[in-house]
Amino acid sequence: MPWYVYLALKQLYSTWQRFFFTGISVLSVALGVWLLLVVLSVMGGFSEKIGEMTQDTAGDIQITAEATIPDPASLQRVVDAVPGVVASAPFAQGFVVILYGDKPVLPVLEGIDPAAVEKVTPLHKFIRLGSLDDLDDDSIILSSILAEQIGAGLGSKVDVYSPAQLTHWGRADEAILPRELTVVGIFEIGHQQLDKSTAIVTLRTMQDLYDLGSGVHGLEVKIAPGRDVQAVTNAINRTLARAQGRTLRPVPGLWAQSWKTSNADFLWAVRMEKAIMTFILLAVVVVAAFLTMSLLIVLVLKKTREIGLFAALGATRAQVAACFCLQGVFIGIVGTALGLVFGFVSLHYRNEIISFVLRFTGGEEAFANVYQFTQLPAHTSGSDLTTIVVSALVLSTLAGAIPALLAARLNPVEALRNE
């Protein structure tokens, strides 16, 4: 081992006093890395969770129009032929009034084709009670909070009123009767808004309720794993433009949109928040670097005569500089490693930690309402990890480089004469 590496390591923990000061520097770097890792991972988790949830509930791409799509089968044939598309499923959705006993709610009712939907969205994995297989034209699946709000459970019969029925209002020969549906399932996605205000019926039921005939509101599209969603979306849009008027009846505003585009505002906000938080939390690492630098400057001043001795023993200026700079590097490496360990452990137990804190402070419900998730999501991307590690190491190295330059610039003769 070169002498400057050996001595740099020795000087970091040679005495309890040195070990203490080194420890403070290491912990301050670790604290910065820890905070950066946890905050960026949780923000990344929100972003990823939203994306995952959108893909799980609405497919990778949604094709919608300004009017009802009258011939979904033809549209499906056209879309399914686009390279990269694995499957598509028609849907129709709209607000309805659901009445159970004397408790009304106003959810979005989603009409799906049970035979096709599983190829596009894994709805079964959100079913908590009952089964998706039991869904027929006389039944409904409610979201968990909505079911709890009205007190409905499996087997409950709910009345569903749709806005389309209002068109029959006032006709003497017609009475407005609700559609009675039996609850055959309860689902929970984990997103407060969706779990509070969504219900699922078959596409036929929804078409009846909204007087759609055989029309639908759109298609949900699943693409092959690894394919660029935006590229496939663009390909679909080109195909739709070509097919309309030829193999497809023209529909105004027929347009495919990827999940990324439909959540663009949210994703942009998360990116901005991440950038701001990175900038703010990097200040912690900068402070740690200043702490390390001041520690090493004091060391250089204290070791002035030894620096003269090293020169007398044959050390070059570069080696003397390396001896002090490496101490900053080692503090950075150990601090970063420690910060990553703290960070990953905190992320692993994040939900337990949040529950523990909320148990004392209260507000579990408020947390879910504000953040929409019952569990705190986390996702550490490679780029975030690289940003954190590189920033911490570069700042720590710079913190060591300045005292190192001071040491290297010392005149050996003056250093040896230093009192």
Partner 1 sequence: MSDVLTARGLRKFYRSGDRTIEVLRGVDLALAPGESVSIRGESGSGKSTLLHLLAALDRPDAGEVRWEGTADLGARRRGRFVGMVFQAFYLVPELSARENILLAARIGGGIGAESRQRTEELLQAVGLRERGHHYPGQLSGGERQRVAVARALMNRPRLILADEPTGNLDERTGDEVIELLMGLCATTSTALALVTHNAAHAAKAARSLLLHEGVLRPL
Binding stretches for partner 1 (CB under 8 A): 2-3, 6-7, 10-11, 14-15, 18, 305-306, 308-317, 319, 412-413, 416-417
CB nearer to partner 1: pick between 7 and 96: 7
CB nearer to partner 1: pick between 161 and 310: 310
142: region left, alpha or beta (phi > 0 left; psi from -120 to 50 alpha):
beta
CB nearer to partner 1: pick between 275 and 413: 413
CA-CA distance, 167 to 165, in Å (whole number)? 5
First to last CA, the chain: 31
CB nearer to partner 1: pick between 20 and 290: 20
Tell me the one-letter amino acid at 326. Answer: L
CB nearer to partner 1: pick between 94 and 412: 412
CB nearer to partner 1: pick between 75 and 410: 410
Question: Minimum distance from CB of 5 to partner 1 (Å)?
Answer: 10
| 8 Å CB contact between 75 and 232 | no
C-alpha pair distances (Å), 314 with each of 3, 212, 311: 11, 91, 5
Question: Minimum distance from CB of 315 to partner 1 (Å)?
Answer: 5
For β-strands 255-258 and 108-112, DSSP reports them as unpaired
Question: Minimum distance from CB of 325 to partner 1 (Å)?
Answer: 17
Continuous segment of H or E residues that includes residue 105: strand 103-105
- Strands (DSSP E) found in 216-269: 216-223, 255-258
Tell me the one-letter amino acid at 13. Answer: Y
Question: Minimum distance from CB of 3 to partner 1 (Å)?
Answer: 4
Nearest residue to 292 via CA among 25, 4, 24, 19: 25
What DSSP string runs through 171-209?
-TT----PEEEEEEEEE--SBHHHHHSEEEEEHHHHHHH
Question: Minimum distance from CB of 19 to partner 1 (Å)?
Answer: 11
CB nearer to partner 1: pick between 8 and 243: 8
- Under DSSP, the state recorded for 2 is -
Continuous segment of H or E residues that includes residue 141: strand 139-143
CA-CA distance, 271 to 145, in Å (whole number)? 30
Continuous segment of H or E residues that includes residue 413: helix 412-417
Question: Minimum distance from CB of 387 to partner 1 (Å)?
Answer: 35
| 8 Å CB contact between 57 and 127 | no
- How many Cα atoms within 13 Å fall on the side-chain side of residue 127? 19
| 8 Å CB contact between 146 and 195 | yes
CA-CA distance, 228 to 143, in Å (whole number)? 31
Question: Minimum distance from CB of 309 to partner 1 (Å)?
Answer: 4
CB nearer to partner 1: pick between 3 and 371: 3
Question: Minimum distance from CB of 296 to partner 1 (Å)?
Answer: 15
Question: Minimum distance from CB of 310 to partner 1 (Å)?
Answer: 7
Question: Minimum distance from CB of 23 to partner 1 (Å)?
Answer: 16
For β-strands 179-187 and 139-143, DSSP reports them as parallel
CB nearer to partner 1: pick between 175 and 313: 313
CB nearer to partner 1: pick between 252 and 314: 314
